[in-house]
Amino acid sequence: MAKESTTTSRDKKGCSIEDVIEKLHSIDGVNFGSALHIFTTEFFSARSKREMWAAMGSIDRKISWLKIMFE
């Protein structure tokens, strides 16, 4: 249990798995179980990718970046 809390504390603000997935689920057209959804849940298991996502700024930029990474 301590290992989990240590890992979480290393995430930058807005970059936890919960934060990123919550934002992902707020995007119209990202349906649970879709190919894009499955890809992103695996993709965001890497902290650096969650941090990049958070740094993208607008949701439109985030969506464009995800689509490029997904292709």
- pLDDT tens digits, residue range 28-68? 888 889 888 899 889 999 999 999 989 998 989 988 888 88
Which pLDDT score, from 0 to 100, does residue 50 have? 92
Nearest to 70 by CA among 11, 27, 22, 16: 27
Does position 25 have pLDDT exceeding 60, yes or no?
Answer: yes
Does position 13 have pLDDT exceeding 80, yes or no?
Answer: yes
| Distance between CA atoms of residues 61 and 38, nearest Å | 20
C-alpha separations of 7 from 44, 48, 70 in Å: 14, 13, 26
Q: How many CB atoms lie within 10 A of CB 66?
A: 20
Query: Is the pTM value of this prediction over 0.85?
Result: no
* Residue 12 DSSP label: P
Which pLDDT score, from 0 to 100, does residue 42 have? 92
50: tokens are 């969650």
